[in-house]
Amino acid sequence: MIRLYNSLSGKKEKFEPIKPKEVGMYNCGPTVYDYVHVGNLRSYICADIFRRVFEYNEYSVRQVINITDVGHLTDDGDCGEDKIEKRAQERKKTASQITIFFTEAFFQDIKALNIKTDGTLFPKATDHIKEQLELIKKLENKGYTYKASDGIYFNTSKLPNCDFFRVAGDQLKQGARVEINSEKHCPTDFALWKLSPINGKRQQEWSSPWGVGFPGWHLECSAMAIKYLGEQFDVHTGGIDHKFPHHPNEIAQSETATGKKPFVRYWLHNEFLSFEGAKMAKSVGNFVTLNDVIEKGISPQVFRYWLLGAHYRSPISFSWQALRGASNAYDKLMEHARSLCTEDLGASPDEAYIETFKEIMNDDFNTPNALALLWKLIKDKKIKKDVKFSTMEEFDKILAIGLSTPPEAEIEVPKKVADLIQKREEARMDKDWKKSDLLRDEIEELGFMIKDSPEGPKIKKMKC
């Protein structure tokens, strides 16, 4: 049984999908005007953990991560500039040059972090203008919209007792920042369609029954989630900054348009990753990308390992020192994995450990406890080497930190052995197999094992 913390109820709940053994999951995706930072990447690593846990429990997961390539303004209150248009102007590029470049960079980052993408849909907002216009039409027909001089707005004061305010809950109480846009009847109203400026032309704009313009940011998620997951689906995720206003707005417009409640059964929000005392944010400029991490000689796997040391609902503070500490621990982990990864693989995992691991992960995705269990397993003298390794491999189906494929340790090869390897390579080129076999024997006598591979010979030190 999976239990998860649902922002809608503010409680841990038993997971019950709409369709047996299937999960529809929507993860709010990146706004592709810049590289994503490691805070953004926390959201996608968390979503990947959720997916892997569902799959481990034999659910098939239909996952959607949208690509925001229009309409996200510099201010959440529907004021400000479109982040993508602004960046295109600054860089003297077209909007699509910007979005294509940073979408590709995002794909590279998530691949490097072992985030599963097989079967995942990555729909773009600009490819779904028709669906967004249809959604506005439905809301207009139901009388939930009004026109202002700068666009079409959703009228939140008409909402019946909807989940809108429940997800927003704490954020609203804490007086979340809502820029007062003078065009709004009520501060919680939000733009569905923004009109292009009267005296200027935007790069990204479309005609609509209300005038030339572009979709409001929240609209794309409702339109694409409904298109790919249906009018009601199981799980929706994002960082806690989306608890207000993005997700309540999605709920308001989706439930009003379809007439079905709830739009989403379980809302999962990851806490922030902070840096230098504040939420890591592109707008503040205190951000670190995965490339910065790699350039410091730290692997993406180490970042993933470090991040999983905190529960997704706990804040985590990024520092280079913390990451270096994690890197040392990770190296030790890999040393253990290497020493356990014998020639004699294929043992069954330890059932008791797997059972505990599953319980931990099924209890609201408790990755720090899972890592603690991993270290307990490594130190457990009662578990045989091959069983330990296959148990770790099983853990890695969810953790995905490279436990099943520990990198070879760098070994020092004496000059004499290196010369013999070279001679053997020459003999193999000449197809002199007899000589090559004799040279292999000589190499082995000196305590080194040689394994041929398409990339060349691989050398291992023999244990005895």
In the complex, the smallest distance separating the C-beta of residue 246 from Zn ion, rounded to whole angstroms, is: 5
Could you say whether residue 28 binds Zn ion (CB under 5 A)?
A: yes
Could you say whether residue 264 binds Zn ion (CB under 5 A)?
A: no
Residue 144 CA to residue 166 CA, distance in Å, equals: 20
What track of x and - describes contact with ligand AMP for positions 67 through 106 (by CB under 6 A)?
----------------------------------------
Angle at 126 between CA 121 and CA 130, to 5 degrees: 95
End-to-end CA distance of the chain: 47
Could you say whether residue 242 binds ligand AMP (CB under 6 A)?
A: yes
* 3-state SS class at 410: coil
From 28-36, 51-59, 197-205, 256-264, give the range in contact with Zn ion by CB under 5 A. 28-36
Between 251 and 378, name the residue whose CB sits nearer to Zn ion: 251
Between 28 and 373, name the residue whose CB sits nearer to Zn ion: 28
From 25-33, 183-191, 347-355, 409-417, give the range in contact with Zn ion by CB under 5 A. 25-33
Residue 104 CA to residue 123 CA, distance in Å, equals: 14
Q: What values do phi and psi take at 400, rounded to 5?
A: 50, 55
How many residues lie near Zn ion (CB under 5 A)? 2
User: Residues 28, 49, 178, 298: which binds ligand AMP (CB under 6 A)?
Assistant: 28
In the complex, the smallest distance separating the C-beta of residue 48 from Zn ion, rounded to whole angstroms, is: 17
Which of these, 22, 39, 19, 17, lies nearest to 30 by C-alpha position? 39
In the complex, the smallest distance separating the C-beta of residue 168 from Zn ion, rounded to whole angstroms, is: 15
User: Residues 59, 153, 154, 272: which binds ligand AMP (CB under 6 A)?
Assistant: 272
Residues 219-248 that bind Zn ion (CB under 5 A): 221
221 binds, among ligand AMP, Zn ion, none (CB under 5 to 8 A by kind): Zn ion
Could you say whether residue 123 binds ligand AMP (CB under 6 A)?
A: no
Return the number of other C-beta atoms located less than 10 Å from residue 338's C-beta. Answer: 14
Which of these, 256, 249, 133, 134, lies nearest to 193 by C-alpha position? 133
Residues 281-310 that bind ligand AMP (CB under 6 A): 281
450 binds, among ligand AMP, Zn ion, none (CB under 5 to 8 A by kind): none
DSSP string, 218-261: HHHHHHHHHHHH-SSEEEEEEEGGGGTTHHHHHHHHHHHHH--S
DSSP string, 135-182: HHHHHHHTT-EEEETTEEEE-GGG--S-THHHHHHHHHHTT------T
Binding region for Zn ion (CB under 5 A): 28, 221
Residues that bind ligand AMP (CB under 6 A): 28, 30-31, 39-40, 42-43, 238-239, 241-242, 270, 272-273, 279-281
